[in-house]
């Protein structure tokens, strides 16, 4: 198994859960006929199915002796022809609508032609050719063409005119045809066949009238892998060849009808290929599988496991190649033989002991529908209210026809849980209880992208609480990105999901913690304290790993970078100016200032790492009430307290510098908040701090800070008092009983 | 223009008296207002609501009701007397005892022949109105409670009486209660309900306002209640009906006035009903008195202010008439300033106060308050004698003489200056009951307006006062100017003036120039009479240097009349030609005092209640587009440009609620303020009202 596949698998499966029921759909199938497969079930017993006169009639050739003509809608055989015992049909019978004759080949070399009214095949026209025939093709609008096993191509008419004419050998010795088809491109008829030679796959493009031959080599997939199936469409003078490898990769190569060289024996060109799909294959390689192009965007695949149904390969699925989404899926009972035909919106698939006909629709796909914005056509499956406008109508007018997929029981049950986008919120809520991580992620993402956040308010809370409880119950289930996204909506508060912050802490999801601290207005003090504890005890190396909000990081970065800048400034000529000033005998303060500066760096270096500082800042900015915070603060250990205080001191020093840049717009703790925390932490741990010798200097510093703050406040009070006095004076002036005033008149 | 040192005085504790009663005479457009101290004031509504006359009060006279009969004014009071006033001499003419205890109400019939008085003893006493007196005619049937309110039916046949707990209707001819249909007893659950006011309409509807806060409409024939309007939780104290009986106002203890209108309920239909339409709240205290004029509701009460609230459906919008007016201060000066000595005389109804202004140090910038070196000093607190309140007072410019008078007593003199002997000079007999007093500028003479528009001139000497002359002008609204120095007419001639106003002489100001040759000459001659102007002068002054007479009238017009040329001056003509600024004319308080700047003879200093104005006659007059109140603008422009922007009217609004502005000798101004808030704070507490969340 390849990791890439798994990745793709997961991607598709998620998409599938979203979009499975929109767009292309498989209807309830019916049985056309029973089959007599070989004992070991290696062969379905069907050699080929070809279209008859119209879309409702097919000719089924079995692998032994008989050809049966069916009217499909009636599931009824209309005619049956059998070759004699001992003979066998080696190529599927084709119907030539121009002559209304059937053409088949028995025993490789005998061409048999008959009409519907012929009853006994033995009595009809026979012609024996000189070389083994690979297949007879008769494309609609074209003449029957005979492809010989050695690569030669003849029109049936010209061949019959001289049946024993010599047939040249086109292919090399070890080369053998694996698959062939016949298309009519505008005026020219082409026979396309692929061969295998020593592990190489070659494509021959044989044009008729005039005869041309092009030869291409397919790029090699992994060694030992050759394509399981081919499918061809013709569009815009190009032949699109689609092929499936056993590893689940579906490639497409485009061949030009007007090839470069027409000479025989030309070196085979390697055609470029594009990976259309990487189908989930489960364990092991695909053995009997087939991919068939349905239209420009859809591919029908059999024998490939359904992404959400384990390793069982008995599925028929329709994939959208443009968006790489699974459009419809159907489990087929019994073994799948890797055979698939498609005529006029009906898939013919032999499985087990039956040949089933499964009608399908592939409406024109659009981005909107691929992304799931299309309203589900099937009202019974969608719980969305009728008032939701139909995207179908908006995007496609009335074109989109209602599809009626009939599913197996299993599919239906899984469908139920995998609600789609037009899902009502309760569907999502239902889903996220059980769905895999990726599904949940996509689901929630879709939900958030879909509608107004305001409408979501009530459901976001529920969503998060379900996710949190699931995460708590199931340790392997945790979706940080989704949770972060949900918190970002700002529709949440702590009371709506009380366990979220603690969960984030437990999972060491510090980004989520930061978001919660930022956006939740009601984090209880106990939780704040728990965060503080977690952050402060976090090793710096771990902290740096966390990806945090860029704004808060840039704020701390600015703080720290200024710290460095300052240091360099002090080492530069800044000090000399200081010294110059201290030369002045009257300037005694200069020396003291100098002293302070030299002692400063130890305090001016951030004691914690960048990310840790960011997280601590977040804690500083939360709302709290002292009474409730204090008891929890006491839980901090002494070294953490000291570290925290050092950090607070660092912040305070930074803030109180005169040239502290005002970083507007950036979320940052205010000076008051810092002071409050200093006081709180000191209150909680004062006795302990007094005992610790290393905290002594810190305490002294902090004491001086608090003192200066107190002084500032008292000075402000004085100013307020004097201003008040001024105000009072003005009023009093009016009240006097007698005054002598000077007035001036102009 | 310049700096002025201003003595800002706020220690004049003037306290107006609450309004008790009101009567509006629609024929003469005059409103009589009675105050709590017994004073009666006459406002001329035709002349910008100017307070023409004030009849001082009396201790015992508590006027409860006023009533106009033609041009005669009657009052009834709790002293049980009915008083008729002499509106020429500003004194009660006579009083008649009603002999029924305190009289609560007074009402005359439409013809003006009968006066009904409601008395404490439950009688309605009818007086016949004769010329010069009233004659008691009869009592109506005596009731149990006091008669609080009375209202005549317009036809004069019936009278409605509101009393304690009931309303009765009497036949005026017989004095009996009318028959059963017209007699009913109104007895609500609470017996103590007082019918404070009744109105008897010509369709025999009786409307009552009572102490239960209701205005009730009754059918006067059947005595049934038609409609009740509960308009207050307190008392409805006053009712007044418009002349055409289509509108009614009710005043309440809450200070609100509620209007009711007689309107058809459905437009175009005949059935009309009294509908409550508007409520005004212009008072903080009880509305005791109401008058419904043609265009406005006049209300007054405990908060002492007279409020004229125009009814906007009856006046043209955005005119002067449609503006709300509050009259808080009297339209005459209660302050007298002795220029030379810096003394202030404050006149209260009961006493006089003489103050000496303080002194200050140094100089200061404009806007500064100078430090007060010497505080103002109250020199004299003089209580008047007798019952009558002080009518007028004067202080001589030198500060040596103080004179006051009451209605009934003679002129009293005082010598405030300590150098003068305390012996009171002997007074001439003619000097009694003056209503205006004025000293000459050298304090040597006193002029007093007296009975019948005469002016008495008294010479003042150290030992005695000598009666000199009595001047008797013709009556009419004229300004008479007498030359005291009949033969020597010069620029410094000696003039004094007085104004006669409908037979009442009001002596405004007297200026006497050089008086050396004055010689008690008995033959003073009329110098000239200033042309009659329709609006009453509110302030008059003669310029000491140019002898120009400056008059300001109730309609805010200003005139300057040259006494030398005996014609209006050039400036005055220019002013009249150009017209005064709209904002000047829209002011609603009259100019009450004029003085001149002794240092600049072009400056005239005026003031009203809200502003102080210095008119600089040398500057151009403001035209209609100029900013009148431009002091702030001038302050902001550079000095060089000020002249370009300035105009004659320099208005200063730094001082508000002015009672007096006067000049002193040293280029200083005295400004006497009495903030209305101070007055409000001294009023008794209003009725308690439940306010939200109190």
Contacts of A737 in chain B (CB under 8 A): 10-11
Query: Tell me, what's the pLDDT at B307?
Result: 93
Ranges of H-type helices in B545-675: 570-578, 582-586, 631-636, 639-645
Ranges of H-type helices in B413-528: none
Asked whether the beta carbons of B552 and B587 are under 8 A apart, the reply is no
**What is the chain B residue with the closest CA to A740?**
B7
Chain A residues 702-741 with CB within 8 Å of chain B = 733, 736-741
Measured distance CA(A684)–CA(A673) in Å, rounded: 16
Query: Which residue out of B10, B597, B607, B667 would a mutagenesis test of the A interface target, given it has the greatest number of A Cβ atoms within 10 Å?
Result: B10
Mean pLDDT of chain B: 80
Measured distance CA(A369)–CA(A391) in Å, rounded: 8
Q: List Cα–Cα distances, A614 to A510, A532, A541, A552, B330, in angstroms.
A: 10, 12, 14, 6, 77
| Strand, coil or helix: B373 | strand
Measured distance CA(B558)–CA(B574) in Å, rounded: 11
Report DSSP letters for A621-634, one per residue.
TS---HHHHHHHHT
Segments of chain A with pLDDT less than 70: 1-23, 41, 259-267, 364-425, 450-458, 562-603, 658-665, 730-735
Measured distance CA(A224)–CA(A219) in Å, rounded: 13
On whether any CB of chain A is under 8 Å from the CB of B631, the answer is yes
Query: Tell me, what's the pLDDT at A169?
Result: 86
Q: Give how far B489 is from chain A: nearest CA, Å.
A: 37
On whether any CB of chain A is under 8 Å from the CB of B360, the answer is yes
Measured distance CA(A35)–CA(A45) in Å, rounded: 6
Contacts of B369 in chain A (CB under 8 A): 733, 736, 739-741
Which helix H or strand E contains B150, and what residues bound it?
A: strand B147-152
Measured distance CA(A300)–CA(A1) in Å, rounded: 23
Which helix H or strand E contains B505, and what residues bound it?
A: strand B504-506
- For tokens 């088949």, the residue is A104
Measured distance CA(A470)–CA(A451) in Å, rounded: 25
Does the domain spanning B19-241 belong to CATH 2.130.10.10? yes
Measured distance CA(A218)–CA(A200) in Å, rounded: 7
Ranges of H-type helices in A520-549: 525-537, 540-545
Q: Give the ipTM of the model, two decimals please.
A: 0.76
On whether any CB of chain A is under 8 Å from the CB of B368, the answer is yes
Q: Where are the domains of chain A?
A: 423-523, 550-720
Contact across the interface for A740 and B360, Cβ inside 8 Å: yes
Contacts of B368 in chain A (CB under 8 A): 741-742
Q: CA angle, corner B59, sides to B55 and B60, nearest 5?
A: 105
pTM: 0.52
Mode of pairing for the β-strands spanning B2-9 and B668-673: parallel
Asked whether the beta carbons of B559 and B551 are under 8 A apart, the reply is yes
Measured distance CA(A81)–CA(A61) in Å, rounded: 10
Measured distance CA(B418)–CA(B120) in Å, rounded: 52
Query: Tell me, what's the pLDDT at B479?
Result: 61
Contacts of B376 in chain A (CB under 8 A): 738
Contact across the interface for A743 and B367, Cβ inside 8 Å: yes
Beta strands in A144-256 (DSSP E): 145-148, 153-155, 176-185, 188-197, 200-208, 212-218, 229-235, 238-244, 249-256
B193: DSSP letter: -
Contacts of B1 in chain A (CB under 8 A): 744-746
Phi/psi of residue A272, nearest 5 degrees:
-70, 155
* Among B3, B9, B358, beta carbon nearest to A744: B3
Q: Token pair of B498, please?
A: 């007085």
Mode of pairing for the β-strands spanning B147-152 and B133-139: unpaired
Mode of pairing for the β-strands spanning A354-361 and A738-745: unpaired
Measured distance CA(A508)–CA(A666) in Å, rounded: 25
| Secondary structure of A472-513 in HEC code, one letter for each residue | HHCCCCCCHHHHHHHHHCCCCCHHHCCCHHHHHHHCCCHHHH
Tell me which residue of A69, A123, A61, A66 sits closest to A92, measured CA to CA.
A61
Q: What is the pLDDT of residues A89-101, one digit of tens each?
A: 888 899 888 888 8
CATH of region B242-327? 2.40.10
Q: What is the pLDDT of residues A7-42, one digit of tens each?
A: 333 333 333 333 333 467 888 888 888 887 777 767
Query: Tell me, what's the pLDDT at A220?
Result: 82
CATH 2.130.10.10 positions along chain B are 19-241
Q: Which bin fits B156, alpha (ψ -120 to 50), beta or left (φ > 0)? A: left
* Residues, chain B: 694
Measured distance CA(B220)–CA(B205) in Å, rounded: 5
CA A541 to chain centre: 32
Contacts of A746 in chain B (CB under 8 A): 1, 631, 634-635, 642, 646, 650
Contacts of A738 in chain B (CB under 8 A): 7-11, 358, 372, 375-376
**A665-670: Cβ within 8 A, 24+ apart:** A666/A551, A666/A552, A666/A554, A666/A555, A666/A558, A667/A518, A667/A551, A667/A552, A667/A555, A667/A617, A667/A621, A668/A552, A668/A555, A668/A617, A668/A621, A669/A617, A669/A620, A669/A621
Measured distance CA(A516)–CA(A504) in Å, rounded: 9
Asked whether the beta carbons of B601 and B639 are under 8 A apart, the reply is no
Count of A–B CB contacts within 8 Å? 73
Contact across the interface for A743 and B4, Cβ inside 8 Å: yes
Measured distance CA(B95)–CA(B133) in Å, rounded: 9
Chain B residues 9-38 with CB within 8 Å of chain A = 9-11
Query: Tell me, what's the pLDDT at B17?
Result: 92
Ranges of H-type helices in B48-190: none
Segments of chain B with pLDDT less than 70: 1, 175, 177-191, 409-433, 452-453, 461-465, 469, 471-527, 688-694
**What is the chain A residue with the closest CA to B361?**
A740
Contacts of B378 in chain A (CB under 8 A): none
| Strand, coil or helix: A714 | helix
Query: Tell me, what's the pLDDT at B290?
Result: 93
B377: DSSP letter: E
């Amino acid at each position: 198994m390849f990791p890439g596949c798994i990745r793709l698998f997961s991607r598709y499966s998620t998409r599938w859960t979203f979009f499975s029921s929109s767009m292309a759909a498989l209807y309830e199938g019916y049985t056309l006929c029973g089959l007599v497969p070989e004992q070991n079930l290696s062969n379905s017993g069907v050699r080929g199915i070809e279209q008859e006169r119209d879309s409702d009639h097919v000719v089924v050739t079995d692998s032994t002796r008989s050809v049966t003509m069916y009217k499909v809608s009636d599931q009824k055989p209309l005619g049956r022809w059998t070759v004699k015992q001992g003979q066998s049909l080696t190529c599927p019978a084709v119907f030539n609508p121009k002559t209304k004759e059937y053409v088949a080949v028995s025993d490789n070399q005998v061409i048999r032609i008959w009409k519907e009214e012929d009853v006994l095949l033995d009595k009809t026209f026979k012609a024996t050719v000189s070389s083994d025939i690979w297949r007879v093709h008769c494309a609609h609008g074209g003449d029957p063409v005979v492809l010989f096993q050695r690569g030669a191509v003849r029109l049936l008419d010209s061949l019959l005119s001289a049946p024993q004419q010599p047939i040249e050998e086109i292919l090399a010795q070890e080369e053998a045809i694996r698959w062939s088809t016949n298309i009519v491109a505008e005026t020219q008829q082409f026979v396309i066949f692929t061969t295998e030679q020593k592990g190489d796959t070659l494509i021959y493009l044989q044009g008729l009238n005039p005869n041309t031959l092009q030869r291409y080599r397919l790029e090699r997939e992994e060694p030992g892998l050759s394509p399981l199936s081919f499918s061809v469409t013709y569009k815009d003078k190009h032949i699109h060849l689609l092929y499936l490898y056993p590893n689940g990769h579906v490639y497409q190569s485009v061949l030009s009808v007007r090839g470069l060289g027409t000479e025989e024996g030309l070196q085979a060109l390697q055609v470029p290929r594009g990976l259309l799909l990487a189908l989930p294959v489960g364990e092991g390689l695909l053995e009997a599988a087939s991919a068939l192009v349905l239209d420009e965007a859809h591919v029908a695949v059999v024998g490939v496991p359904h992404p959400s149904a384990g390793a069982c390969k008995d599925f028929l699925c329709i994939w959208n190649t443009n968006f790489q989404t699974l459009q419809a899926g159907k489990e087929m009972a019994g073994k799948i033989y890797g055979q698939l035909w498609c005529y006029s919106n009906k898939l013919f698939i032999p499985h087990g002991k039956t040949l089933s006909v499964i009608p399908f629709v592939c409406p024109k796909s659009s981005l909107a529908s691929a992304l799931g914005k299309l309203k589900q056509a099937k009202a019974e499956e969608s719980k969305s209210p009728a008032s939701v406008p139909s995207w179908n109508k908006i995007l496609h007018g009335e074109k989109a026809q209602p599809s009626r997929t009939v599913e197996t029981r299993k599919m239906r049950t899984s469908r139920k849980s995998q609600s789609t986008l037009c899902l009502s919120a309760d569907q999502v809520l239902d889903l996220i209880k059980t769905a895999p991580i990726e599904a949940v992620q996509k689901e929630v993402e879709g939900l958030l992208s879909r509608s107004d956040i305001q409408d979501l308010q009530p459901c976001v809370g529920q969503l998060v609480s379900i996710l949190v409880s699931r995460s708590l119950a199931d340790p392997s289930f945790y979706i940080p990105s989704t949770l972060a996204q949900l918190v970002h909506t700002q529709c949440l508060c702590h009371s709506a999901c009380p366990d979220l912050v603690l969960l984030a802490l437990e999972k060491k999801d510090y980004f989520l913690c930061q978001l919660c601290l930022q956006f939740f207005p009601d984090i209880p003090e106990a939780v704040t304290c728990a965060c503080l504890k977690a952050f402060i005890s976090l090793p710096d190396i771990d902290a740096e790993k966390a990806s945090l909000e860029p704004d808060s990081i840039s704020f701390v970065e600015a703080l720290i970078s200024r710290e460095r800048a300052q240091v360099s400034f002090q080492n530069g000529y800044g000090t000399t100016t200081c010294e110059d000033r201290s030369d002045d005998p009257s300037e005694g303060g200069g020396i003291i200032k100098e002293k302070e500066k030299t002692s400063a760096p130890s305090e001016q270096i951030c004691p914690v790492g960048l990310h840790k500082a960011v997280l601590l800042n977040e804690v500083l900015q939360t709302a709290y009430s002292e009474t409730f915070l204090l008891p929890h603060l006491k839980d901090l250990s002494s070294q953490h307290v000291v570290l925290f205080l050092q950090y607070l001191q660092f912040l305070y020093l930074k803030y109180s510098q005169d040239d502290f840049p005002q970083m507007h717009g950036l979320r940052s703790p205010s000076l008051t908040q810092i002071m409050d925390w200093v006081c709180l932490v000191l209150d909680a741990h004062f006795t302990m701090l007094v005992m610790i010798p290393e905290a002594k200097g810190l305490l002294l510093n902090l004491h001086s800070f608090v003192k200066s703050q107190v002084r500032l406040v008292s000075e402000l009070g004085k100013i307020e008092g004097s201003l008040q006095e001024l105000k009072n004076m003005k009023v009093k002036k009016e009240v006097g009983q007698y005054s002598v005033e000077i007035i001036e008149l102009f | 223009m310049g700096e002025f040192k201003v003595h800002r005085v706020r220690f004049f504790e003037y306290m107006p008296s609450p309004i008790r009663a009101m009567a509006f005479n629609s024929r003469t457009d005059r409103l009589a207002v009675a105050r709590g101290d017994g004073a009666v004031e006459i406002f001329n509504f035709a002349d910008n609501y100017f307070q023409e006359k004030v009849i001082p009060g009396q201790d015992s006279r508590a006027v409860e009701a006023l009533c106009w009969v033609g041009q005669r004014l009657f009052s009834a009071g709790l002293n049980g007397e009915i008083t008729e006033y002499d509106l020429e001499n500003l004194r009660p003419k006579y009083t008649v005892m009603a002999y029924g205890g305190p009289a609560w109400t007074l009402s005359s019939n439409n013809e003006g022949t009968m006066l009904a008085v409601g008395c404490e003893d439950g009688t309605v006493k009818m007086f016949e109105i004769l010329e010069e007196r009233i004659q008691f005619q009869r009592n109506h049937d005596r009731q149990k409670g006091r008669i609080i309110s009375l209202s005549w039916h317009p036809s004069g046949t019936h009278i409605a009486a509101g009393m304690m707990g009931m309303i009765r209707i009497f036949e005026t001819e017989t004095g009996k209660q009318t028959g059963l249909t017209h007699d009913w007893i109104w007895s609500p659950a609470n017996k103590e309900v007082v019918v404070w006011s009744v109105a008897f309409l010509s369709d025999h509807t009786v409307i009552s306002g009572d102490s239960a806060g209701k205005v009730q409409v009754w059918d006067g024939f059947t005595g049934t209640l038609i409609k009740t309007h509960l308009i207050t939780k307190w008392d409805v104290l006053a009712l007044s009906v418009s002349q055409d009986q289509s509108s009614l106002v009710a005043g309440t203890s809450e200070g609100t006035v509620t209007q009711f209108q007689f309107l058809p309920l459905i437009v175009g239909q005949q059935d009309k009903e009294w509908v409550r339409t508007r409520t005004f709240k212009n008072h903080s205290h009880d509305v005791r008195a109401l008058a419904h004029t043609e265009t406005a509701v006049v209300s007054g009460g405990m908060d002492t202010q007279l409020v004229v609230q125009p009814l906007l459906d009856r006046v043209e919008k955005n005119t002067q008439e449609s503006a709300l007016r509050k009259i808080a201060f009297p339209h005459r000066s209660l302050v007298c300033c002795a220029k030379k000595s810096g003394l202030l005389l404050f006149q209260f109804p009961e006493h006089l106060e003489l103050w000496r202004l303080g002194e200050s140090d140094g100089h200061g910038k404009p806007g500064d308050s100078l430090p007060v070196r010497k505080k103002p000093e109250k020199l004299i607190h003089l209580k008047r004698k007798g019952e009558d309140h002080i009518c007028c007072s004067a202080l001589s410019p030198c500060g040596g003489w103080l004179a006051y008078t009451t209605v009934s007593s003679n002129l009293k003199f005082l010598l405030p200056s300590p150098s003068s002997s305390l012996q009171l000079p002997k007074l001439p007999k003619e000097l009694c009951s003056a209503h205006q007093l004025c000293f000459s500028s050298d304090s040597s003479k006193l002029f007093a307006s007296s009975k019948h528009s005469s002016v008495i001139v008294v010479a003042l000497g150290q030992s005695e006062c000598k009666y000199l002359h009595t001047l008797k002008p013709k009556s009419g609204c004229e300004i008479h100017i007498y030359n005291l120095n009949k033969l020597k007419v010069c620029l410094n001639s000696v003039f004094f003036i007085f104004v006669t106003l409908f037979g009442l002489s009001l002596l405004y100001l007297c200026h006497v120039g050089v008086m050396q040759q004055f010689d008690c000459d008995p033959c003073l001659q009329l110098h000239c009479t200033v042309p009659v102007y329709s609006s009453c002068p509110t302030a008059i002054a003669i310029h000491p240097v140019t002898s120009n007479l400056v008059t300001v009238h109730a309609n805010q017009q200003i005139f300057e009349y040259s006494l030398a040329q005996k014609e209006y001056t050039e400036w005055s003509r220019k002013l009249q030609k150009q017209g005064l600024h709209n904002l000047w004319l829209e002011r609603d308080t009259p100019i009450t005092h004029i003085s001149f700047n002794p240092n600049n003879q072009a400056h005239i200093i005026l003031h009203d209640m809200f502003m102080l104005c210095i008119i600089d006659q040398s500057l151009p007059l403001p035209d209609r587009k100029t900013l009148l109140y431009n002091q702030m603008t001038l302050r902001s422009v550079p000095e060089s440009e000020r002249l370009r922007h300035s105009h004659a009217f320099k208005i200063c609004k730094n001082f508000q609620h002015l009672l007096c502005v006067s000049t002193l000798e040293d280029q200083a101004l005295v400004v006497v303020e009495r903030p209305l808030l101070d007055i409000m704070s001294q009023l008794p507490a209003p009725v308690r009202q439940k306010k939200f969340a109190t």
